């Protein structure tokens, strides 16, 4: 049966008298064109399975076939325009579970690659954009936004994008407040302020997840990519291991840049030995207005509207909502549009609807950003490899990698058995049934 959520869309398409044939076998297949693949496929592109962001809204997919004004055999893939219609239709029903909250945009580091505090983001930039000056969110505002998130049904609040959470004077108070609302809490941090004492407090309040941005474990490189201070280096390098030992879900992220090329494996091995729950890496990339700022070679995908895997959602320091990190890195260009519907004076449902309508209706400013965005990366099975590495389950997708710690109860099984279990969702099911 056709997923209920798509029935409305197919009725619309029939009214438009569009020719189509969509089935359970081809609804997620599209012909992708990329320079390298065009060569492999004789110039015609290749069929790729895609994953729709928010595809879980479709529910379980049984057999279905929807066609209109279409003669002939069922095609193996659907046109890009149909993929976009499906992706946009899903956005109409979006129900967010995780949300970033920028309680501070201040940071104690000035990493050269940072799109908020690094090169070019100082004096003149903030003079031209005074509202973007690094600042703290008043505690009362932060609490009000958390209340609105809880009311909407957000399950996890992630603090504090584009700033260092532990510089926020009220980090402890807002963390306890979020937990008191029954929500889960996570943060991304450079780790330099996460001492033993801080970890004790986090453990005590039941802090759920910590993501550490550590771009090198070598002091000489750390000085170049992160901080020149010895104390920062020592605290930051050890913090993920202490957090994992304290039982907090701990993730370490590595961004490959020119000065740390070749250091990923060493860093992964160090933190795997330290027992962290997961590690990941990507290549440095960001976009400033319409200029791509990637310094290393990156793989660019053909843009398909609605398939960006950088969709995310966050509340900025001024109460505005953003739909992805790409909008966050070019916030000054989009802010006037977002000011029209801020969480300051609207409910979260209203704000979400306003912002996703801009995407669904292909707002010109947003499209201009999306079409010039180094962060764009679609979910597809091309170049996706899965393997077991040092008792971690690894997924490599283009230049991104994620490794997840294998539960100790099954980690001694042979690699091929473990891979089979992961690929067939057996591990997820065992976790769900509380066997692991």
- The binding track of 250-289 with respect to ligand SF4, each residue x by CB under 6 A or -, is ----------------------------------------
- Residue among 348, 375, 418, 421 that touches ligand SF4 (CB under 6 A): 375
160 binds ligand SF4 (CB under 6 A): no
> From CA 265, how far away is CA 287, in angstroms rounded?
27
Any alpha helices (H) in 133-263, and if so which ranges?
Answer: 139-152, 171-180, 196-205, 219-225, 230-245
376 binds ligand SF4 (CB under 6 A): yes
Element (H, E) at 287: strand 287-288
CB-count exposure of residue 237 (10 Å: 0-12, 13-18, 19+): buried
395 binds ligand SF4 (CB under 6 A): no
Q: Which of residues 78-117 bind ligand SF4 (CB under 6 A)?
A: 107, 109-111, 114, 116-117
50 binds ligand SF4 (CB under 6 A): no
Q: Least distance to ligand SF4 from the beta carbon of 324, Å? A: 3
Q: Least distance to ligand SF4 from the beta carbon of 396, Å? A: 21
> From CA 333, how far away is CA 336, in angstroms rounded?
8
- Residue among 66, 164, 232, 318 that touches ligand SF4 (CB under 6 A): 164
- Residue among 26, 160, 190, 284 that touches ligand SF4 (CB under 6 A): 190
Of the pair 309, 342, the CB lying nearest ligand SF4 is at 309
Centre a 10 Å sphere on the Cβ of residue 298 and count the other Cβ atoms it contains.
Answer: 17
CA dihedral 135, 140, 144, 149 (to 10 degrees): 50
User: Which two tokens mark 128?
Assistant: 């031209």
Q: What is the DSSP letter of 308?
A: B
Assign 391 to helix, strand or coil.
coil
Q: Which residue's C-beta sits nearest to ligand SF4? A: 326
322 binds ligand SF4 (CB under 6 A): no
- Residue among 198, 202, 217, 370 that touches ligand SF4 (CB under 6 A): 370
- The binding track of 115-154 with respect to ligand SF4, each residue x by CB under 6 A or -, is -xx-------------------------------------
Location of structure tokens 């916030």: 331
In a 13 Å sphere around the CA of 201, the CA atoms on its Cβ side amount to 12
Assign 239 to helix, strand or coil.
helix
Of the pair 211, 394, the CB lying nearest ligand SF4 is at 211
Contacting residues toward ligand SF4, per CB under 6 A: 107, 109-111, 114, 116-117, 162-164, 190, 213, 308, 310-311, 324-327, 369-370, 373, 375-376
């Amino acid at each position: 049966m056709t997923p209920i959520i798509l029935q409305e869309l197919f009725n619309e398409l029939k009214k438009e008298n569009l020719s189509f044939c969509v089935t359970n076998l081809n609804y997620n297949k599209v012909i992708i064109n990329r320079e390298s693949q065009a060569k492999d496929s004789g110039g015609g592109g290749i069929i790729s399975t895609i994953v729709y962001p928010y595809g879980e809204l479709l529910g379980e997919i049984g057999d279905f076939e929807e066609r209109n004004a279409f003669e002939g055999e069922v095609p193996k893939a659907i046109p890009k325009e149909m993929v976009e219609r499906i992706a946009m239709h899903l956005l109409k029903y979006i129900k967010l579970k995780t949300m970033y909250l920028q309680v501070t945009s201040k940071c104690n580091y000035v990493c050269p690659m940072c799109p908020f505090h690094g090169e070019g983001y100082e004096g003149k930039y903030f003079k031209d954009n005074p509202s973007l000056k690094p600042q703290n969110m008043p505690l009362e505002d932060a609490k009000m936004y958390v209340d609105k998130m809880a009311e909407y049904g957000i399950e996890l609040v992630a603090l504090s994008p584009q700033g260092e959470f532990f510089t926020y004077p009220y980090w402890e108070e807002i963390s306890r407040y979020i937990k008191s609302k029954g929500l889960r809490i996570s943060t991304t941090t450079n780790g330099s302020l996460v001492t033993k004492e801080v970890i004790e407090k986090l453990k005590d309040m039941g802090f759920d997840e910590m993501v550490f941005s550590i771009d090198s474990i070598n002091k000489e490189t750390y000085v170049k990519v992160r901080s020149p201070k010895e104390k920062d280096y020592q605290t930051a390098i050890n913090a993920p291991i202490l957090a994992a030992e304290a039982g907090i879900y701990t993730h370490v992220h590595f961004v490959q840049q020119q000065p740390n090329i070749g250091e990923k494996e060493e860093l992964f091995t160090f933190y795997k030995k330290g027992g962290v729950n997961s590690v990941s890496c990507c290549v440095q990339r960001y976009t400033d207005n319409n200029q791509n700022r990637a310094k290393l070679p990156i793989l660019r995908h053909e843009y398909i509207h609605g398939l960006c895997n950088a969709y995310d959602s966050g509340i900025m320091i001024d109460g505005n909502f953003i739909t992805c990190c790409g909008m966050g890195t070019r916030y000054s260009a989009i802010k006037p549009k977002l000011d029209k519907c801020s969480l300051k004076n609207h409910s979260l449902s209203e704000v979400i609807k306003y912002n996703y309508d801009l995407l669904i209706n292909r707002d010109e400013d947003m499209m201009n950003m999306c079409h010039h965005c180094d962060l764009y990366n679609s979910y597809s099975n091309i170049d996706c490899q899965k393997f077991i590495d040092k008792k971690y389950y690894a997924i490599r997708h283009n230049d991104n990698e994620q490794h997840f710690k294998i539960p100790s109860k099954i980690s001694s099984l042979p690699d091929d058995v473990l891979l089979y279990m992961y690929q067939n969702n057996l591990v997820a099911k065992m976790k769900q049934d509380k066997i692991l």
